[in-house]
Structure 1
């Protein structure tokens, strides 16, 4: 999250979902604003693409607003009840951005930009001196970490004295990129600065300073990074941030659920009546979702095929480092995304084209791009791409059947998916048996005979 994003892209909060995880995480951080609290430095750890940056944007907007505007925000996101405390102190949000620099200039320049963006602008000798000091310190080759922390505290005091805010919220997104800088230069300056910022937050008292940093799950799994991070971790409250797969399915349903009756209503109902019982019988319904909720979920997610719906959580974890997120899949104008797929639908059609695993496979190939054949984790997708190339001008049903089998295998049979005859037929024909499934069974038999399966 960058400062310009926070100022200019407020509309990106439209449709944001206050899930149980979001509410729980926000409440834990807001508890740090209690007068007697000392835990005010937090590290959010989760897979890339888990929504940490979107959460940070929501938290920044929420804490920077007045109580009445916080209520407006919650209402605009579909929450009539007060899901979060409205009376927490207003904090100036300071998103830290960075390029090829270390953390200290990134923090100082973020403070300076946040002050310059205040309306009305802070004036007077104290504000002028602080702005000059922030610019001067940011240009220094090296600066004491405690001096940087002191500038954060000075900024918080200044905005509190102005009456605009009660303190400061410092957000550092994807800290792993910043730690690449000291790793390359054998420099522990970044880690020392993190410790100083956390210590400042703990002692900020009546002028609260919250520090929130984001770390990808892969960062915590790397032994070298983990050893480096251990020096600073003890000063941070570590909060796991990963939506459960079933919650992701509900998020998809929430995003796609029509607000009013559509011309596709009858087609939606007829399609769900067919695929809901079949998908349940095939074991695709997650056990956490009741048999009564499952048809409602599938209806809201139309035209996503049930096999695609349950494949999304494990797939997005695989593709997260390539910039793929749930929001991007549903709403971005990427080739083979759901939005791209629906753009081909005729406005007069009474049905929508179903988005199947074959489309999802093409989306994966596009998102991986050149790394399809370069990265170890993409090897199953690369093998599938090579096999698809061999069959591209062959029988179309065999091509589709091979694609479905390869996609399920690349997902390592996650979420109840199995590359057996019944599920492959269901993925392509919406039924595991009968005349509609017979061509799929014939294609699978032909692929086995050709030793391609």
Structure 2
């Protein structure tokens, strides 16, 4: 039997079935996966809605399943394709599994498919990738339909695939209409078509990154066609990890509204298991590879579980005896952490991580790191989950305005001098429960906290004493009306309210160029290849310009710069065309040291910079911030996140790595539009070659510089001394200073 020095990593594993990702195109031909599917209540409800849609054209036939990674969406889609497609190898097994879980629903499916050789819906599994949506769909359809290519009409349709991929969205819908009529003919015998687009977010990400050249209107046409299909149903299922609005988060508000309208054509199903079901799945995913090790910890875990039941930690839909068994299977999770974990990821909106990603990943303070660094009978407690949350999600939480309880907790930990380990664990646990309290029934009552930190070392009396000490130090407060503890809110500044006031104060137009120049000073652009070849570092100064400041713009370069790059930020199409004409006319054709860029995607940039201006207003007009470190930390984090988003937006809009008008910006030099080239640095090097054709090649950083370094000055002084005779008095120093300077320079 392993002793107490045994690492948890040698005793505990995560079952592959719990973390295995489904690939719908490949796994459709794996019948064994159907028998392993866990048919939950959520899956039954979703399947019933799909069956209603297939049976009655008055119901929706276009759905999106939205939920976190690891929640079983792809697995469910795989099961549905096998169930609704009678020609699939695993169809009988899928029907048998459904019969066990829901006999009435299984009977409905049988009636819908029919008997006597009916083949049901033809399944088309497609895995999305970062490419145009139409290309993704045509590729997937062509691959799925290859087994039917022996049919003459099907062969003709497939031969049109390359043409359809490059045509407009209407052509694809017409092609689908022809396809349905072909698969429904007696020689093939299918009743309709089921198209499952897994990883639907990948084409959406591509569309968001190439908004100027992408159009997701095809999705609206597909959804409307699915609703119109009558006798031969066309069923569309898209699988997403988050809503359309999250994929369009970096686009301007007008485009976001357009995306929201398109998403409205689909009936969205939140594929999110309730916490009690997630706990069952979680317990089933953890495997104790050496059963002989469990007696050493079984008594501890059982005692913790019974204490949790007595302290109101028992979920309402789980019986006490089942809860104790689940806790034993879920070790090394402490029962309180086991209950809290589903709520934690729900609080994260379930689209940034999932429970199963937590089990498998090597993130700081995560499950795998705990297994590597701890031994039996240690358990993962709420304090460990707090550390995991702060280490991996703090920045995102600030950006989504959900970090206030965590910020206050961190401030108390940082300012709480000489905190004992027990006090630290209590503060972390209270802070996490305060944060979870908005989406769960979990509250930081004394009874619950006793169950959270109780151990052989920490008795109930010691815990109560530590709680009293923390109250005396004003690190936590006790709310008598509901008997809960909370972190003392050391912040008197309502940051969100102040930002709202800033938005009201800063209404109206502003100079986008001036704001970007002020808040994010542009970095100079180096002509890399030219600088390397000549040994002389040459760079171009960057200035932003918009219509408000264009007439006051100076075209003179700053000291040391070899040229100037002007970034034009228009607010609409008319201004963009005006800037393009401005770059062709005027003084630009005669200036070889000027490069002009006209950005065409500035709506989102304007929104981000406007928000940054509001944060700066709060910083400048809130004197209370001086004595409020919590609010200052929140402002700093928000500003940092905004600055990162602005820089990313500028990089995307300008696309300096490859200059082409297909990337959302147009580039000009000497009044001529630049053709597609490798990147801006390449262009700047060519310009420097033209401007400085006779540049000597001096690969010496002490000599070849614009401003003499301290080492260079010392070397000049030491080498110039031998030029003059040593004298007690040096009358020449004052009489012939110019000759001295000339000699020194020559040396």
Q: Does 1:271 align with 2:300?
A: yes
Are residues 3 and 405 of structure 1, via their aligned partners in 2, closer, same or farther at CA, if it must alter by over 3 Å?
closer
Higher helix fraction (1 or 2): 1
Greater displacement, 17-26 / 379-388: 379-388
Tell me how far 1:447 sits from its aligned partner: 3.5
Q: Give the distance between the partners of 2:33 and 2:371, measured in 1 at CA.
A: 21
Q: Give the distance between the partners of 2:59 and 2:128, measured in 1 at CA.
A: 24
Query: What secondary structure sits across from 1:376 in the alignment?
Result: coil
Q: In 1, are the aligned partners of 2:362 and 2:368 still within 8 Å (CA)?
A: yes
Deviations 1:7-45 (A, max 9, x none): 1696987964210110221132134444x6454523246
Q: In 2, are the aligned partners of 1:3 and 1:114 still within 8 Å (CA)?
A: no
Q: Give the distance between the partners of 1:77 and 1:365, measured in 2 at CA.
A: 42
Q: Which residue of 1 aligns with 2:165?
A: 138
Cα RMSD for the two superposed structures: 4.5
Structure 2 spans left out of the alignment, 5+ residues:
1-19, 114-119, 477-747
Match of 1:424 among 438, 445, 449: 449
Q: Does 1:27 align with 2:48?
A: yes
Query: What secondary structure sits across from 1:419 in the alignment?
Result: coil
Deviations 1:413-440 (A, max 9, x none): 6544222444333212259xx9623443
The TM-score with structure 1 as length reference comes to: 0.76
Q: Does 1:151 align with 2:178?
A: no
Q: Which residue of 2 aligns with 1:301?
A: 330
Q: In 2, are the aligned partners of 1:264 and 1:352 still within 8 Å (CA)?
A: no
Tell me how far 1:278 sits from its aligned partner: 2.0
Q: In 2, are the aligned partners of 1:29 and 1:42 still within 8 Å (CA)?
A: no
Tell me how far 1:293 sits from its aligned partner: 3.4
Query: What secondary structure sits across from 1:29 in the alignment?
Result: helix
Query: What secondary structure sits across from 2:292 in the alignment?
Result: coil
Q: Give the distance between the partners of 1:150 and 1:84, measured in 2 at CA.
A: 34
Q: Give the distance between the partners of 1:375 and 1:220, measured in 2 at CA.
A: 14
Q: Which residue of 2 aligns with 1:395?
A: 420
Greater displacement, 270-279 / 305-314: 270-279
Q: Which residue of 1 aligns with 2:540?
A: none
Count of residue pairs the alignment pairs up: 437
Query: What secondary structure sits across from 2:236 in the alignment?
Result: strand
Q: Give the distance between the partners of 1:274 and 1:2, measured in 2 at CA.
A: 35
Q: In 1, are the aligned partners of 2:53 and 2:60 still within 8 Å (CA)?
A: yes
Query: What secondary structure sits across from 1:363 in the alignment?
Result: helix
Are residues 422 and 78 of structure 1, via their aligned partners in 2, closer, same or farther at CA, if it must alter by over 3 Å?
farther
Match of 1:6 among 21, 25, 40: 25
Whichever of the two has the greater Rg, that structure is 2
Aligned runs of 1:303-342 on 2, under 5 Å? 303-320=332-349, 323-342=352-371
Query: What secondary structure sits across from 1:22 in the alignment?
Result: helix
Tell me how far 1:211 sits from its aligned partner: 0.7
Q: Which residue of 1 aligns with 2:61?
A: 41
Greater displacement, 209-218 / 226-235: 226-235
Q: In 2, are the aligned partners of 1:108 and 1:151 still within 8 Å (CA)?
A: no
Deviations 1:245-270 (A, max 9, x none): 22222332343477x99224434542
Give the structure, 1 or 2, with the largest relative contact order (CA under 8 Å, sep 6 or more): 1
Deviations 1:188-218 (A, max 9, x none): 9534x33432343345455442111346676
Q: Which residue of 2 aligns with 1:17?
A: 38
Q: Give the distance between the partners of 1:2 and 1:298, measured in 2 at CA.
A: 25
Tell me how far 1:138 sits from its aligned partner: 1.9
Greater displacement, 378-387 / 104-113: 378-387
Q: Which residue of 2 aligns with 1:122?
A: 149
Q: In 2, are the aligned partners of 1:62 and 1:70 still within 8 Å (CA)?
A: yes
Query: What secondary structure sits across from 1:99 in the alignment?
Result: coil
Are residues 31 and 77 of structure 1, via their aligned partners in 2, closer, same or farther at CA, if it must alter by over 3 Å?
closer
Match of 1:451 among 463, 474, 490: 474
Q: Give the distance between the partners of 2:83 and 2:425, measured in 1 at CA.
A: 47
Query: What secondary structure sits across from 2:77 in the alignment?
Result: helix
Q: Which residue of 1 aligns with 2:126?
A: 95
Q: Which residue of 2 aligns with 1:70?
A: 91
Q: Give the distance between the partners of 1:61 and 1:389, measured in 2 at CA.
A: 55
Greater displacement, 176-185 / 422-431: 176-185
Q: In 1, are the aligned partners of 2:405 and 2:435 still within 8 Å (CA)?
A: yes
Greater displacement, 418-427 / 151-160: 151-160
Tell me how far 1:407 sits from its aligned partner: 1.4
Query: What secondary structure sits across from 1:263 in the alignment?
Result: helix
